[in-house]
Amino acid sequence: MSIAPIGAVTPVAAVLGPGATAAPQPGSGSTGPSFAASLAGAVDDLQQLQSTSNQLAVQAVTGSLDDIHTAVIAATRAQVTLELAATVRNKGVEAFNEIMRMQA
């Protein structure tokens, strides 16, 4: 039994998805996208994932989809992304409420 070597570290774009940029390094002088732009991009990506999932589900039901695994993976990916978005929203609301409870 041989142990496979550890592969190279994947670039940030491969992890974050297409069009994503890494956070700027401290002292680099460049600013990244605003939080609002990042949030809007994440919501757009979520909508695209859900749309793809719905299209594949319709194809699976009508019998025009050869590989059902593609539909299941797309549905699971959309579900996990939606759960992440809901968790981020809940944490944001929780942080806002905590700030509002602070005394001046």
Give the SS3 label for residue 82.
helix
Q: What is the mean pLDDT of residues 3-18?
A: 59
Mean per-residue pLDDT of the chain: 82
Q: What is the dihedral of CA 70, 73, 76, 77, to 10 degrees?
A: -100
How far is Cα 35 from Cα 15, in angstroms, rounded to an integer? 19
CB 19 within 8 A of CB 37: no
- pTM for this entry: 0.62
pLDDT tens-digit readout, 18-49: 555 555 555 555 577 888 898 889 999 999 99
